[in-house]
Amino acid sequence: MSATDLQGMPRVGILGGGQLGRMLALAAVPLGVKVSIYQAKPSGAVDDFDHVFTGDWRDAEALEKFLEGCTVVTLENEWADLSVLAPMCEARGIPLWPARQTMTWIRDKIVQKRHAEASGLPLAPFDAANSAEEIAAIVERLGLPLVLKSPTHGYDGYGTATAKTLEEAIAAHERLAREGQSLVEAHVPFIRELSVLVARRPGGETVSYPVVWTVQEDHRCVAVELPAPSPDEVQARAQALAVRAAEAFEHVGIMAVELFECADGSLYFNELAPRPHNSGHFTIEACESSQFDNHLRAILDWPLGSPRPRARSAVMLNILGDEDGRESRPERLREALCVEGAHIHVYGKRESRPARKMGHITAVSDDLETSRRRAQSALERIMEP
């Protein structure tokens, strides 16, 4: 019997060891794709895997070890400092996706909006403000209410505020500005927020996932629902817009494109994430290929998997930390496992903190009401006092 050494299976380097790194690794293993993970601080979410490296984003020695054997490098959050790593990848001929140009266009939300506008994507009037005086001028020009955002490091509603008066706008600016600057957007009278995931290969091939409704409370997504209630025609335009966005940003990998839908069916580009996204967790159970699977395929320049839905409806709810850490008690999880059609995902983080994403639930079924009831029931079993 001849024995053939297995060679040539790729190794993907992942920057960031949170839940997105965890789920990327879980998608890599069945494909035979190896992963190496680099994290600045261990959260616990990737403790189950081998080839995990912990170090500062600028620690060339630790990064060197991480890069060993990597075929391609990607990131699970857009705040990883690439200043040392990117040149190392270039010197070694290891592709880094998303590319630096894409990251430069995305990281600062002001630059992102300007690039989106220059690319012809429809978006609400916006401006960058550097002072209270500029805020006053913007209020004069765009009216009220306004939405103010930190240009960088905002997520999950942190870094976003709605201002109904000039005073609120100035206060929000002072609180949210980074290096003195905030992003100020005209308020879009939208009826709901949508998200579309697009996977794109280096050659430009794309697939786009079914449109989901990202149900919001206080600028925070509290549920993701498939199908979105929008008319088919609006959904088709949303998908096309998301593909245009992925192309405009020359993105490679999976990208979540967040949109505003107005009562007249018009759509506005809100913002995007150049990586797997919370609004795409439903794809694990509800689509032929998950967002994690397709992110890996895209950055490896492999054929993309089908985004076709495998369930008529899906509802995703986040499991957030609370003061008592009750979401992390095994006996609570056990109860939630009793709910048919509810898939529980625990992120394995070592510490629970209020509002921290500790896991999620995706319920699937033939109709949206059932999926909602199942997801809610599972979450209540975990969280009820």
Residues with Cβ within 8 Å of residue 5, at least 6 apart in sequence: none
Backbone φ, ψ for residue 364 (5° rounding): -125, 150
- Judged by CB under 8 A, the residue of 199, 279, 347, 375 near its own copies is 347
Backbone φ, ψ for residue 124 (5° rounding): -65, 150
How far apart are alpha carbons 82 and 37 in whole angstroms?
15
Q: Is 173 in the site for its own copies (CB under 8 A)?
A: no
Whether the bond between 145 and the residue before it is cis, its omega within 30 degrees of 0, is yes
Residues with Cβ within 8 Å of residue 8, at least 6 apart in sequence: none
Residues with Cβ within 8 Å of residue 51, at least 6 apart in sequence: 34, 35, 36, 37
| Helical packing angle, 166-176 and 132-142, nearest 10° | 130
Q: Is 385 in the site for its own copies (CB under 8 A)?
A: no
Please list every residue from 49 through 108 that binds its own copies, using CB under 8 A: 49-52
Q: Tokens representing 295?
A: 């992110």
Closest CB to its own copies among 274 and 341? 341
C-alpha distances (whole Å) from 140 to each of 80, 110, 173 are 37, 20, 16
From 81-89, 169-177, 209-217, 307-315, span contacting its own copies (CB under 8 A): 307-315
From 45-53, 56-64, 96-104, 229-237, span contacting its own copies (CB under 8 A): 45-53
- Cβ pair 58, 83 in contact under 8 A: yes
Closest CB to its own copies among 4 and 83? 4
Backbone φ, ψ for residue 191 (5° rounding): -95, -20
Closest CB to its own copies among 151 and 305? 305
From 42-50, 193-201, 255-263, 368-376, span contacting its own copies (CB under 8 A): 42-50
Q: Is 308 in the site for its own copies (CB under 8 A)?
A: yes
Q: Is 35 in the site for its own copies (CB under 8 A)?
A: yes
- Residue 114, amino acid: R
Strand, helix or coil at 63? helix
Residues with Cβ within 8 Å of residue 237, at least 6 apart in sequence: 265, 267
Q: Is 338 in the site for its own copies (CB under 8 A)?
A: yes
Q: Is 334 in the site for its own copies (CB under 8 A)?
A: yes
Closest CB to its own copies among 26 and 84? 26
Q: Is 352 in the site for its own copies (CB under 8 A)?
A: yes
Closest approach of its own copies to the CB of residue 247, in Å = 22
Q: Is 13 in the site for its own copies (CB under 8 A)?
A: no
Strand pairing report for 206-208 and 212-217: unpaired
Q: Is 21 in the site for its own copies (CB under 8 A)?
A: no
- Judged by CB under 8 A, the residue of 130, 205, 329, 380 near its own copies is 329
Closest CB to its own copies among 31 and 368? 31
What is the contact surface with its own copies in residues (CB under 8 A)? 1-6, 8-10, 22, 25-26, 28-32, 34-35, 44, 47-52, 288, 297, 302-303, 305-306, 308, 310-311, 321, 323-325, 328-330, 333-335, 337-338, 340-341, 343-354, 359, 364
